[in-house]
Structure 1
């Protein structure tokens, strides 16, 4: 069987990007959260805020390290697997990626050391400034990366001459048509990821009765954040969808599983798209709702996949179900954000076991949403690497064989599995110690063995008024 180097190179890059993406999307939001905690600690001099900041800084360090290790190889893949693309886009992507290193990575690396090791060794104001600079660096980094990727989705400000992209307008290339929507969408996704992870971890500690005051404050902050960010993300996602419909209509057609260009298109809740027969084998949908969502008109026209040749159609089933998974995670996040508001009366949000248990599992929801969102973005662009200009087959390295691509793919899977295992181990050690001081860990090592999560660990008891009260107000 002949191995396809294009398919295997796509799989390899998809694996590396998917593995890497879950780390920066968390650290961007977490860095901002740490900066806020540092600001509160600086203003109030409260040990609670400092304790929270110190704990989440440890988590940030581990995740940031995993993100750097997993992401550093992506730039090399441009040369090894996509040399035609690397050469053709060098005039634009070369400077953009260099700007990201100079303006963001150096900023993060320079102040990260102060943030990690400077607590109580530098003035409090300096430590706060370092935390703010690290947070700023994460935003600058995402700015350049999203600009580069958005340019591949909606190329602008360049012209193709003799197989090379030549920049005609840097402002148009950097601030291309999809960039504002995609950058905003990703920043909000980072806040959601950080918010739900902090909420989930805080909920776990509250269920175990550990550091109740600090974790109650952390959970309260996150629930307020999520209450505003989740609806805003849905709104921005809608705007992003309208932008995609304008510039990448076939991606939207794949997202909706729509084959025929028509009006009054139903919103499909379930379908089995079949690319071979150019139809959906099974459909369950709501009449005209897709037209309303995509065009804001009940009789709006939605493009169909049959407008283009079969070999130019994206993988419909993959895009279709990835999109619905992302939306489902968004609806779950909205449900929990609203539930948190309802339970805030009487302080039930931190004393209701089923809600806290749900928040624990919801820590995974934003990661699933981010990954499936990227699947839609990248899969929906196929077969184009630079949309409408350069295909993936044209961009791949000419001398690359299927065997070479398969070998490196297996190598990446093995190495990344080791990196992930080691990273998760150290991350779990940090979570195991929690907000307690290091000497507390040594003192209680024997009496608090690690054990799997269980509902039996819920430290709540019922009083005569059937109100939940913590069995312990601190410690464990």
Structure 2
């Protein structure tokens, strides 16, 4: 394999975007969690929700900052390493990225200060509203980024003049056929990722034997989120796979390592794809299941990679193994979430030390699943940057391999230093946990009006059914 500017540019972008995506995904889910906590505090007056909201807001601030820093680098790479990409499809992709800045980023920036520093400076309802707006802004940011990326996967609503794409229907551009399910899949992944981080944090403090009230609340809320959204994510993924068979059949053939078209198509559980020989070695498969899952029929034709010209085929190894990693993690998430819900129902979840020990170390699960999914999405789209319009090798800038190698080395060094420091800081915040309630300084209350028990539904939702456990303390 020749090490040229094109390959190094791809490695550089893959490296930086892999670092970047984990932080926006985490902040999307975490901002929604913080807004939920503030809403429960406003509704019930229970100080534990207020303390947890303050605790997670500190972690959100660090994650948000690292996401912004790493995202800016990606924008510059479009000009430095992929300038021809901007020339060919910038008329479509550029405005979508601009809309993300003008709507989502400005919205987040406007209310982020209130969310971070408004604890005793603004009324509680305004603080809650700012958290909701920040959460909406992070979701809106994901909306525009996924719209742009989905258009690159399956361009629509444009016309080509002199090799340059021009938008003709912005609704078709924004809501291109692959966008709705990809957006739902990514948002659900973000919420699941955050749920596992919250679960791991709560389990960590439970096993340490301190801050049990806050830890129990985190574990309960995380179990509820995982038990509901993990199966939903599997359902969305199934629909997304069926859609991929329609709009990106070459990608699906690579994901399943199907070389020859077959009726029906076998589901390959494991194999070692040999791209040179165009066959699978050590294959373990189930006949007919691939056609059933993707087309709803055991008699459906499943297209193989040989149906496409060699120059139009995506690489096979990375999508094949990354997809199985993503699905495997997803199955484990479902089983683990349901196991936690069963233990919660029995009232033994906080005494299940083995389950808590696994939960403590489960925090990377969502991040690994997201990275695996993005490897499937981006590598599976190759050799195209914009499918059918622009090949990756035609978009690279006229730069030398040495120039890209130097910048890549600098990126690796700076990212390892900066992000290692950020992760260490987040770990210290997690280790410290929520602030304890000081007897001399009662926690801030959302109002001076006492709340009745009927106004505190969180007691029923987040209690574990034991008499006297986790009673809602109304504001006084």
**Both proteins in one fold, TM over 0.5:** yes
Contact 2:88–2:390 under 8 Å retained in 1: no
Q: CA RMSD in A?
A: 1.7
Report the secondary structure of 2:236's partner residue: helix
Contact 2:257–2:273 under 8 Å retained in 1: yes
User: In structure 2, how many angstroms separate the alpha carbons of the residues matched to 1:119 and 1:375?
Assistant: 40
Contact 1:262–1:304 under 8 Å retained in 2: yes
- Structure 1: gaps (5+ residues): 441-469, 471-476
Quote the offset at 1:311 in angstroms: 2.6
User: In structure 1, how many angstroms separate the alpha carbons of the residues matched to 2:437 and 2:378?
Assistant: 44
Note if 1:350 corresponds to 2:350: yes
Report the secondary structure of 1:284's partner residue: strand
| Residue matched to 2:314 | 314
Note if 1:296 corresponds to 2:296: yes
User: In structure 2, how many angstroms separate the alpha carbons of the residues matched to 1:228 and 1:437?
Assistant: 31
Contact 1:29–1:190 under 8 Å retained in 2: yes
User: In structure 1, how many angstroms separate the alpha carbons of the residues matched to 2:307 and 2:210?
Assistant: 59
Q: 310-319 or 429-438, which moves further after superposition?
A: 429-438
Quote the offset at 1:37 in angstroms: 0.2
User: In structure 2, how many angstroms separate the alpha carbons of the residues matched to 1:214 and 1:251?
Assistant: 45
User: In structure 1, how many angstroms separate the alpha carbons of the residues matched to 2:3 and 2:324?
Assistant: 31
User: In structure 2, how many angstroms separate the alpha carbons of the residues matched to 1:23 and 1:226?
Assistant: 19
- Structure 2: gaps (5+ residues): 440-468, 470-476
| Residue matched to 1:61 | 61
User: In structure 1, how many angstroms separate the alpha carbons of the residues matched to 2:420 and 2:189?
Assistant: 25
Report the secondary structure of 2:159's partner residue: strand
Quote the offset at 1:258 in angstroms: 0.4
Superposed CA deviations along residues 84-128 of structure 1, whole A, max 9, x for unmatched, are: 111122211221111111111111111111111110221111110
| Residue matched to 1:459 | none
Note if 1:51 corresponds to 2:51: yes
Contact 2:31–2:135 under 8 Å retained in 1: yes
User: In structure 2, how many angstroms separate the alpha carbons of the residues matched to 1:181 and 1:277?
Assistant: 35
Superposed CA deviations along residues 354-393 of structure 1, whole A, max 9, x for unmatched, are: 1111112221111111001000000001101101221001
User: In structure 2, how many angstroms separate the alpha carbons of the residues matched to 1:112 and 1:438?
Assistant: 25
Superposed CA deviations along residues 37-58 of structure 1, whole A, max 9, x for unmatched, are: 0001111111100011111111
Quote the offset at 1:345 in angstroms: 2.6
Note if 1:260 corresponds to 2:260: yes
Quote the offset at 1:257 in angstroms: 0.6
Contact 2:268–2:285 under 8 Å retained in 1: yes
| Residue matched to 2:40 | 40
User: In structure 1, how many angstroms separate the alpha carbons of the residues matched to 2:163 and 2:383?
Assistant: 18
Contact 2:269–2:284 under 8 Å retained in 1: yes
Quote the offset at 1:409 in angstroms: 1.3
Superposed CA deviations along residues 210-250 of structure 1, whole A, max 9, x for unmatched, are: 21112112211111111110111111001111111101001
| Residue matched to 1:273 | 273
TM-score (normalizing by structure 2): 0.90
TM-score (normalizing by structure 1): 0.90
| Residue matched to 2:426 | 427
Superposed CA deviations along residues 14-37 of structure 1, whole A, max 9, x for unmatched, are: 111111001111110110000000
User: In structure 2, how many angstroms separate the alpha carbons of the residues matched to 1:312 and 1:374?
Assistant: 20
